[in-house]
Amino acid sequence: MAKTFDTPEREKESSVIKLLAIVGSQREYGNSFLLTKETLKPLKEINYEIIQLAKKEITFCNLCGKCESMECPLEDDFNEILKKLKEADGIIFAYPKYLFKAPTKLLCFLERLDLIHHFRKHPGYSEELRLEQNVSPPLEGKHCCLFVVTDPGENAEECLNLAANEVKSLGMKLILYNSQLGAHATGKFRGEVLRDQKGIEDCRKLVRKLIDSISSKI
């Protein structure tokens, strides 16, 4: 069971690192979720939470621009997730490869984040008002990493590139794995990813790098 941010005995330990994993698969409890859960399971010294976008309502941005100075006005689960992203010390984005790209729901979610970042980075009102209202870009400077799951034998580079460009545009610090944009595991049918011990170990090493990077900042 994931150790969540509101675990009572952990609340007093402000130095405990908090990780939030966003699973971008459009299928609940699929290989991306299983990989993330298995990767984080041995980490006893941190708090973490896993959010599956498949269980959340994320609607498309209508470019109203209101997020420049307030919460996104769309009535879905986006603002709740964004609040947790802001509370986290580090973020993991885990997702499967759909043809040559990431799932549409994850791309929609990242687009919503990107538009908030853009509107607040280039506001249409004075810098003084922006600072007064505390509406700075929400995830700028956050440390993050990427996991991708593909069918056996498939290349993950193009799929990683897409998400990497999105998180970099948010001003986030992307942690690399052996010069790669993220870690890669394989599994075609549900549960098969758990057989990929090398992929799981690669993801654990990447998370360790993420934790070390966060620790050096604290």
User: Are the beta carbons of 145 and 207 closer than 8 angstroms?
Assistant: yes
Average the pLDDT over 114-139 and give the result: 67
Beta strands in the chain (DSSP E): 18-23, 47-52, 90-96, 143-150, 173-174, 183-186
The answer to whether residue 5 is domain-embedded is no
Average pLDDT of the chain, as a whole number? 86
Q: Is the pLDDT of residue 8 over 70?
A: no
Contact criterion met (CB below 8 Å) for 109 and 24: yes
- Indicate whether 107 belongs to any domain: yes
Inside any domain, residue 185: yes
User: 128 is in which domain, residue-wise?
Assistant: 21-217
DSSP symbol at 167: H
Q: Identify the CATH number of the domain in which residue 177 sits.
A: 3.40.50.360
The answer to whether residue 67 sits within a structural domain is: yes
pTM of the model: 0.86
Number of independent structural domains in the chain: 1
pLDDT tens across 201-210, in order?
Answer: 999 999 999 9
Torsion-angle region of residue 139: left (phi > 0), alpha (psi -120 to 50) or beta?
A: alpha
CB atoms within 10 A of CB 204: 17
**Residue 29 maps to a domain:** yes
**In this model, does residue 156 exceed pLDDT 60?**
yes
Condensed to tens digits (0 to 9), the pLDDT of residues 20-76 reads 999 999 999 999 999 999 999 999 889 999 999 999 999 998 888 777 767 788 889
According to DSSP, the residues that pair with 48 across neighbouring strands are 19
Pairing mode, if any, of strands 173-174 and 143-150? parallel
Q: Are strands 183-186 and 18-23 parallel, antiparallel or unpaired?
A: unpaired
Q: Tens digits of per-residue pLDDT, 86-126?
A: 999 999 999 999 876 888 899 999 999 988 887 777 666 54
What single DSSP character describes residue 15? T
